[in-house]
Amino acid sequence: MASEAPTCDRCGSERAVIYQPHTGRRLCLKCFEEDIVERVRREIERWGMLRLGKTRLLLALSGGKDSLTLLYVMAQLHDVNRMAVLTVYEGAGGGYRLREIENLKRFAKSYGVDVEVVSFRDYIGAELAELVRAAREAKLGVKPCTICGTLRRRIINWYARLHGFEKVATAHNLDDEVQTLYMNILRGDLDGMLRLHPLAPTLSDKLVPRIKPLRKIYEWETAALAYLKGWRLPVEACPLITEEASLRAHIREVLYRLEWRQPGFLLRVLENFDREMLPLVKQLYGKPRLPLCEKCGEPTSYGRRVCRVCEIIDALREKLSRPLTLAEPRPQR
């Protein structure tokens, strides 16, 4: 029982503050932090995600618990002069994202890292709330999260390429990865599934390779770290999220039950995936390059002539008061 043995199982001296079900250990805060940092370092080195201390790294962050954890860990493992933070301001309505961004800026500044903010308006000329309204009027049948995700990914890659970053790191955690893995399996999307592998190739020279250093860290661990470190976190959620009963939400629920019954389940699933899928991932290296969009020249999916971003722009152009166009590349800093 945790209450009867308050000493850390790792260092044997400090008072334990956390129980880690997948290892069965009770840990003090210092050992818990070190455990996370070490596991991230191992994952980075195992797959050659980046050259620690050398690679020019862009951290694409929102400002939530996972974001702060990634920044905190990378500030210890990597050279802070070789990294910058980008956050995309969507403009979903309500002030919560602005508070989150201010919070992220303060946090990053304490590690000497700059935060660059690029908004949907900067890139496309309209905010997400306007795009969603126009999409409803035009009966486009795309969900707010789809528009948001498509544009956000585009802006992150565009910014990273423009400013010469070699890698983009996102703060996806273990729970995110296994949920996405199951979603791809249920949809029969083998390609999408293989893309989750850390050795999956980038299929275009115009795509900056993306890495997920936290992919073996549980979501509860980033939440616990944020709580124990006393990091301030905004509690509001995006006002545009309407359907909680999404496929992802159902999968998340099932996975939590499995994890609760067999601690370490998610970790084993992703470990198996990494090992068993390796031969298939290697076959991806022979695939042709992604086609480029006829309108904007950005990479798009196989079989497409016009990318999804241009498709959204074309569909909504007349529904919005301002003309929708893509931003011109800005000069290198």
Segment interacting with Zn ion, rule: CB under 5 A, options 2-10, 137-145, 242-250, 255-263: 2-10
First vs last Cα of the chain: how many Å apart?
56
Site for Zn ion contains 310 (CB under 5 A): yes
155 lies in the site for Zn ion, by CB under 5 A: no
Interface pick for Zn ion out of 18, 31, 50, 142 (rule CB under 5 A): 31
Residue type, 222: T
- Candidate ranges 13-21, 34-42, 191-199, 242-250; the one touching Zn ion (CB under 5 A): 13-21
Q: Which of 115, 140, 307, 312 binds Zn ion (CB under 5 A)?
A: 307
Contact status: 9 vs Zn ion (CB under 5 A): no
Instruction: Judge residue 218's burial from the number of C-beta atoms within 10 Å of its C-beta, 0-12 exposed, 13-18 middle, 19 or more buried.
Output: buried
Closer residue to Zn ion (CB): 208 or 310:
310
Using CB under 5 A as the binding rule, whether residue 85 contacts Zn ion is answered as no
Task: Specify the amino acid at residue 312.
Answer: I
Q: Does 26 bind Zn ion (CB under 5 A)?
A: no
Closest to Zn ion by CB, 68 or 124: 124
Applying CB under 5 A, the site for Zn ion has a residue count of: 11
What three-state secondary structure class fits 302? coil
Nearer to Zn ion, 28 or 74 (CB): 28
β-partners of residue 15 are: 7
User: What minimum distance in Å lies between the beta carbon of 227 and Zn ion?
Assistant: 18
Paired strand residues for 116: 86
Indicate which single residue of 295, 304, 317, 319 sits in contact with Zn ion (rule: CB under 5 A).
Answer: 295
Nearest Cα to Cα of residue 128 among 159, 156, 97, 170: 97
Of 2, 5, 11, 228, the one binding Zn ion by CB under 5 A:
11
Q: Does 8 bind Zn ion (CB under 5 A)?
A: yes
d(CA 5, CA 44): 34
Pick from 10, 65, 97, 172: which binds Zn ion (CB under 5 A)?
A: 10
Residue 238 to residue 128: CA distance in whole angstroms? 11
Going 205 to 47 to 45 to 57, the CA torsion angle's sign is: positive
CB 219 within 8 A of CB 248: no
Q: In what order do the strands lie in the sheet with 83-89?
A: 115-119, 83-89, 57-60, 167-170, 210-211
Residues whose CB falls within 8 Å of the CB of residue 89, separated by 6 or more in sequence, listed in order: 97, 98, 101, 117, 118, 119, 120
Q: Considering beta carbons, is residue 134 or 309 the nearer one to Zn ion? A: 309
The one-letter amino acid code at 192 reads: G
**CB atoms < 10 A from the CB of 293, how many?**
19
Q: Contact between 207 and Zn ion (CB under 5 A)?
A: no
**Smallest separation (angstroms) from Zn ion to the CB of 67:** 26
**Site residues (CB under 5 A) for Zn ion, limited to 34-53:** none
Question: Residue 93 CB, nearest distance to Zn ion (Å)?
Answer: 26
* Nearer CB in complex with Zn ion: 107/123: 123
Residue 296 binding Zn ion, by CB under 5 A: yes
Look-up of token digits 């304490």: 110
28 binds Zn ion (CB under 5 A): yes
CA–CA distance, 5 with 67 (Å, rounded to integer): 33
142 binds Zn ion (CB under 5 A): no
CA–CA separation, 263 and 257 (whole Å): 10
Q: Which residues bind Zn ion (CB under 5 A)?
A: 8, 10-11, 14, 28, 31, 293, 295-296, 307, 310
